């Protein structure tokens, strides 16, 4: 594979004046302040507003400028627990609905999603997961290595035992989806305030009082920390130690390349934390960069590109003719168990965490947004997200090396 170091940034289409442009005024009061205009915050704000709450969504930059706008947009329902499968299934249906509303312009490429399996123990575990997924109404299946090769001709499968696959999974545009969530929130009366930074969460006598921003104060009894990789910094202003740390993730784009068909599924190789999918006329790909320290670095490290090219060409020999021409890097919000921290944080009434999505925050954002809104307004959610409370870390030592990024 050729490498060309002309690293120009690509920007995703933002829809006709969608999301940006109109900057709402900061309200003086709200029922709920949501901090962070990524997919999580925008989804929480939408669901809260739809349920009748007075919501202020506050974003320090533009909507989707954090992890979300840099995500690959992969969407799968192939999870290992009932809670995850239910969150994923509800989210996928939500994305389908958005894509079905043609005027919104969101394309959901449902060409399927292949998880390669290499060891017999993995195949056994995948069989268990597929049984669970199918019981919950997800039409996933186990494929033989030969069947995977039929889906992606020329893929190297000699070392592959099979794959877990769901034809309805796929990918969409996280930036556009988020601006749609925000537009929907606005339609239900939410104030979506961009270019305004929350500088502190204010609290007194163990209760949240609101937030201080660089544009003034907002009084509110409930504050949702949906600040993605920055969530721990926001929480710290309220004296809370949130176990969420930023780790850089890099995506790479090839020049136009037609050896992978337009309707090829997402190909995910968890052993090597490697995936690729179509992006326009070329491909988008990712190879994990383990061992990096936690940081907010957004530099695309071209010295890593030869490793990407080498593994990509091993897995899919026709990549020999491709060239990596651009890409980007952004932080993901990682927790020690790769699961988000969701719900009210004990010790500070009204402080709700919705961060630490660790690589699958976009695909689950519709359902997580709804569950958080239900927890705030109804005290219970239709999908029980209790196992994702911060309580699970209580009494555990969490040194930085317990945060090890994997996955999307
Ligand atoms: C390269 C890459 C690829 C990925 N691929 C996928 C994928 O294919 N599928 C998937 O599901 N997930 C993927 N992810 C993960 C996914 O992007 C995240 O889990 C998800 O976007 C998290 O969304 P969020 O809204 O919680 O955080 P963010 O999108 O980071 O949003 C947080 C927002 O808070 C704002 N903010 C921070 N501090 C403040 C403050 N003090 N005041 C006001 N605003 C503040 C930030 O500006 C930011 O916009 C990927 C991530 C990366 C980096």
Residues 49 and 33 in one domain: yes
pLDDT in tens, 169-189: 999 999 999 999 999 999 999
Q: Does residue 345 sit in helix, strand or coil?
A: coil
Give the model's confidence band at 408: pLDDT under 50 very low, under 70 low, under 90 confident, else very high: low
From the list 127, 163, 123, the residue with the least C-alpha distance to 146 is 163
Residue 358 Cα: closest atom of ligand 1? 19
Ligand 1 centroid vs 118 CA: distance in angstroms? 31
How large is the greatest C-alpha to C-alpha distance in the chain, in angstroms? 64
Best substitution site from 9, 39, 70, 71 to test ligand 1's pocket, by max atoms within 8 Å of Cβ?
71
Domain-located, residue 93: no
Residues 342 and 391 in one domain: yes
Q: What pLDDT, on a 0 to 100 scale, did the predictor assign at position 243?
A: 96
Give the containing element (helix H, strand E) for 319. none
Best substitution site from 37, 43, 61, 66 to test ligand 1's pocket, by max atoms within 8 Å of Cβ?
66
Q: What pLDDT, on a 0 to 100 scale, did the predictor assign at position 24?
A: 77
Please report where in the chains the tokens 């004990």 appear, as a residue: 346
- Tell which of 319, 334, 349 closes a domain: 334
- Tell me the helices (H) and strands (E) count for the chain, helix number first: 8, 20
Give the containing element (helix H, strand E) for 130. helix 120-135
Residues 149 and 295 in one domain: yes
Cα–Cα distance, 253 to 267 (Å, whole number): 15
- Tell which of 309, 334, 359 closes a domain: 334
Cα–Cα distance, 386 to 390 (Å, whole number): 9
Of 84-98, 101-115, 305-319, 390-404, the poorest mean pLDDT is in 390-404
- The token duo for 22 is 């109109």
Ligand 1 centroid vs 137 CA: distance in angstroms? 29
Is residue 218 within 8 Å of residue 210, measured between CB atoms?
A: yes
Q: Pick 17 or 193 by higher pLDDT.
A: 193
Query: What average pLDDT does this structure show over 21-46?
Result: 91
- Whole-model pTM: value is 0.94
Ligand 1 centroid vs 114 CA: distance in angstroms? 24
Query: What average pLDDT does this structure show over 383-408?
Result: 85
Domain-located, residue 100: no
Among protein residues, the one with the nearest Cα to ligand 1's atom 41 is 198
Residues with CB under 6 Å of ligand 1 are: 35-41, 58-61, 65-68, 70-74, 197-198, 226-230, 234, 249, 251, 330, 332-333, 355, 357, 359-363, 408
Residues 310 and 261 in one domain: yes
DSSP string, 185-233: HHHTT-EEE-S--EEEEEEETTEEEEEEETTEEEE-SEEEE--GGGHHH
Q: What pLDDT, on a 0 to 100 scale, did the predictor assign at position 32?
A: 98
Q: Give Cα separations from 171 to 13, 109, 368 (angstroms).
A: 15, 5, 18
> Is 225's pLDDT higher than 80?
yes
The CA angle 79-120-160, to the nearest 5 degrees, is: 85
Q: What pLDDT, on a 0 to 100 scale, did the predictor assign at position 15?
A: 38
Q: What pLDDT, on a 0 to 100 scale, did the predictor assign at position 404?
A: 73
Cβ neighbours of residue 285 under 8 Å, at least 6 residues apart?
251, 252, 253, 254, 274, 275, 276, 277, 308, 312
CB atoms within 10 A of CB 25: 11
Residues 154 and 278 in one domain: yes
Cα–Cα distance, 232 to 246 (Å, whole number): 9
Of 140-154, 166-180, 217-231, 388-402, the poorest mean pLDDT is in 388-402
pLDDT in tens, 250-279: 999 999 999 999 999 999 998 889 999 999
Of 10-19, 186-195, 231-240, the poorest mean pLDDT is in 10-19
Q: Does residue 92 sit in helix, strand or coil?
A: helix
Among protein residues, the one with the nearest Cα to ligand 1's atom 2 is 71
> Is 398's pLDDT higher than 90?
no
Domain count, the chain: 2
Cα–Cα distance, 385 to 341 (Å, whole number): 10
Q: Pick 401 or 109 by higher pLDDT.
A: 109
Residues 259 and 303 in one domain: yes
DSSP conformation class of 10: P
> Is 323's pLDDT higher than 70?
yes
Ligand 1 centroid vs 278 CA: distance in angstroms? 22
> Is 407's pLDDT higher than 90?
no
Q: Does residue 317 sit in helix, strand or coil?
A: helix
Residue 46: give its domain's CATH number.
3.50.50.60
> Is 14's pLDDT higher than 50?
no
pLDDT in tens, 333-387: 999 999 999 999 999 999 999 999 999 999 999 999 999 999 999 999 999 999 9
Cα–Cα distance, 244 to 230 (Å, whole number): 8
Best substitution site from 227, 244, 366 to test ligand 1's pocket, by max atoms within 8 Å of Cβ?
227
Of 15-29, 48-62, 143-157, 303-317, the poorest mean pLDDT is in 15-29
Residue 354 Cα: closest atom of ligand 1? 26
Q: 154 — alpha (psi -120 to 50), left (phi > 0) or beta?
A: left
Ligand 1 centroid vs 234 CA: distance in angstroms? 14
Ligand 1 centroid vs 331 CA: distance in angstroms? 8
Q: What pLDDT, on a 0 to 100 scale, did the predictor assign at position 23?
A: 57
Cα–Cα distance, 285 to 277 (Å, whole number): 7
Q: What pLDDT, on a 0 to 100 scale, did the predictor assign at position 395?
A: 85
Domain-located, residue 92: no
Domain-located, residue 104: no
Best substitution site from 12, 38, 246 to test ligand 1's pocket, by max atoms within 8 Å of Cβ?
38
Residues 163 and 255 in one domain: yes
Q: What pLDDT, on a 0 to 100 scale, did the predictor assign at position 400?
A: 76
- The token duo for 53 is 């709450």
Residue 141 domain boundaries: 109-168+247-334
Q: What pLDDT, on a 0 to 100 scale, did the predictor assign at position 266?
A: 97
Residues 251 and 397 in one domain: no
Q: What pLDDT, on a 0 to 100 scale, did the predictor assign at position 268?
A: 97
Ligand 1 centroid vs 328 CA: distance in angstroms? 14
Cβ neighbours of residue 132 under 8 Å, at least 6 residues apart?
80, 81, 82, 85
Residues 252 and 322 in one domain: yes
């Amino acid at each position: 594979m050729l490498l060309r170091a002309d690293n120009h940034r690509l920007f995703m289409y933002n829809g006709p004046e969608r999301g940006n442009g109109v900057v709402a005024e900061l309200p003086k009061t709200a029922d709920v302040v949501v901090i962070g205009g990524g997919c999580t915050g925008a989804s929480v704000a939408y669901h809260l507003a739809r349920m009748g709450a007075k919501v202020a969504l506050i974003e320090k930059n533009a909507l989707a400028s954090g992890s979300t706008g840099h995500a690959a947009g992969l969407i799968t329902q192939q999870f290992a627990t009932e809670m995850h499968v239910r969150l994923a299934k509800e989210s996928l249906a939500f994305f389908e609905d958005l894509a079905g509303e043609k005027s919104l312009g969101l394309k959901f490429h449902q060409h399927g999603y292949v998880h390669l399996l290499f060891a017999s123990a993995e195949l056994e575990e995948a069989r268990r997961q597929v049984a669970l997924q199918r019981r919950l109404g997800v039409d996933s299946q186990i494929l033989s290595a030969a069947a995977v090769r039929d889906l992606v001709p020329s893929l190297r499968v000699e070392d592959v035992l099979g794959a877990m696959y769901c034809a309805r999974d796929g990918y969409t545009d996280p930036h556009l989806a988020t601006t749609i969530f925000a537009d929907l929130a606005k339609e239900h009366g939410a104030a979506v305030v961009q270019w305004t930074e929350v500088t502190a969460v204010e609290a007194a006598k163990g209760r949240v009082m609101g937030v201080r921003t660089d544009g003034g104060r907002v009084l509110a009894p409930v504050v949702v920390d949906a600040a993605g990789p920055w969530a721990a910094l926001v929480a710290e202003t309220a004296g809370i130690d949130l176990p969420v740390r930023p780790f850089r993730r890099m995506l790479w784009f090839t020049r136009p390349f037609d050896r992978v068909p337009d309707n090829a599924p997402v190909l995910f190789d968890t052993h090597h934390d490697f995936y690729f999918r179509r992006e326009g006329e070329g491909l988008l790909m990712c190879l994990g960069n383990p061992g990096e320290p936690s940081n907010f670095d957004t530099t695309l490290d071209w010295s890593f590109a030869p490793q990407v090219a080498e593994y990509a060409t091993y897995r899919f020999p026709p990549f020999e003719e491709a060239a990596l021409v651009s890409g980007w890097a952004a932080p993901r919000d990682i927790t020690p168990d790769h699961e988000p921290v969701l719900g009210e944080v004990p010790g500070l009434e009204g402080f709700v965490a919705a961060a630490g999505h660790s690589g699958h925050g976009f695909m689950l954002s519709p359902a997580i947004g709804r569950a958080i809104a239900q927890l705030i307004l109804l005290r219970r959610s239709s999908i029980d997200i209790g196992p994702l409370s911060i309580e699970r870390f209580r009494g555990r030592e969490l040194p930085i090396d317990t945060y090890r990024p994997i996955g999307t």
